[in-house]
């Protein structure tokens, strides 16, 4: 099912995506978090050593070095936020036999649909690049002590029906066996869920999304959302 789309004219001086601030828990995770952002292809432009943990600046591509958009800031959670997260965790009994049922309900929702809560998506220039990043992160999650047991990857194929897309994904080293499908055509998604970065209602994990849209596609997952 596809809803009607209304096109809205945008002035040439319209907005661009400026920056995103993401956080790791404390100083012990500073370099691990920086390593993760480098692994997904972000370009590190600055690092400031601070007592509570390093502050980093990244851009999504080299053409953004001197611009004010396409920026990702990475820093440690400040103590008041850590205290709040710890209080929420304690009150809800997260990870204990007395865990509030709402916690498992939230986790079940996220396992079924990683897009259901806060996440941030990066658009990749090539499917090969996305595949290489996913394969690298899978290996790191198995062999790198910094990443082991801290990364979960969920893959969505494009909705079936486009022969060229279906054939390419059937030959993909990561999507050939994928059983989940995106809410749309001619594009794929890879969701990286990790506790190296902190966000969401429980403040314990963040989801980063990597997307690729097949070329020559006026209608695709990032332009038109479809169900069924």
Q: What is the pLDDT of residues 20-42, one digit of tens each?
A: 999 999 999 999 999 999 999 99
Residue with tokens 């690298």: 136
Q: Look at residue 64 in the predicted model and tell me its pLDDT.
A: 80
**Contact 195/201 with Cβ under 8 angstroms?**
no
Mean pLDDT score, 1-6: 50
Taking only the tens place, the pLDDT of each residue in 158-213 is: 999 999 999 999 999 999 999 999 988 999 999 999 999 999 889 999 999 999 99
Band of the pLDDT at 62, cuts 50, 70, 90? confident
**Whole-angstrom distance, CA of residue 226 vs CA of residue 228:** 7
**Whole-angstrom distance, CA of residue 159 vs CA of residue 74:** 34
Q: Look at residue 10 in the predicted model and tell me its pLDDT.
A: 52
**Whole-angstrom distance, CA of residue 207 vs CA of residue 220:** 22
Per-residue exposure over 32-60, b if at least 16 CB sit within 10 Å of its own CB, e if not: bbbebbebbbbbeeeeeeeeebbebbbbb
Q: Is the pTM of this model over 0.85?
A: yes
């Amino acid at each position: 099912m596809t809803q009607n789309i209304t096109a809205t004219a945008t002035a040439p001086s319209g907005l661009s995506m400026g920056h995103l601030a993401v956080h790791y828990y404390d100083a012990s995770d500073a370099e691990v978090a920086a390593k993760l952002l480098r692994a997904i292809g972000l370009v590190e432009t600055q690092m400031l050593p601070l007592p509570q943990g390093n502050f980093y600046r990244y851009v999504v591509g080299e053409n953004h070095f001197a611009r004010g958009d396409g920026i990702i800031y990475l820093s440690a959670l400040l103590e008041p936020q850590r205290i709040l997260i710890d209080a929420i965790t304690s009150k809800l009994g997260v990870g204990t036999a007395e865990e509030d049922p709402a916690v498992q309900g939230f986790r079940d929702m996220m396992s079924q649909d990683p897009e259901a809560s806060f996440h941030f998506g990066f658009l990749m220039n090539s499917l090969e690049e996305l595949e290489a990043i996913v394969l690298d992160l899978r290996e790191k999650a198995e062999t790198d002590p910094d990443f082991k047991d801290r990364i979960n990857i969920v893959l969505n194929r494009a909705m079936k029906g486009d022969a060229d897309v279906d054939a390419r994904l059937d030959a993909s080293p990561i999507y050939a066996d994928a059983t989940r499908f995106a809410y749309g055509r001619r594009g794929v998604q890879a969701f990286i869920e990790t506790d190296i970065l902190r966000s969401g209602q429980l403040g314990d994990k963040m989801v980063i999304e990597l997307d690729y849209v097949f070329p020559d596609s006026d209608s695709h997952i990032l332009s038109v959302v479809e169900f069924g």
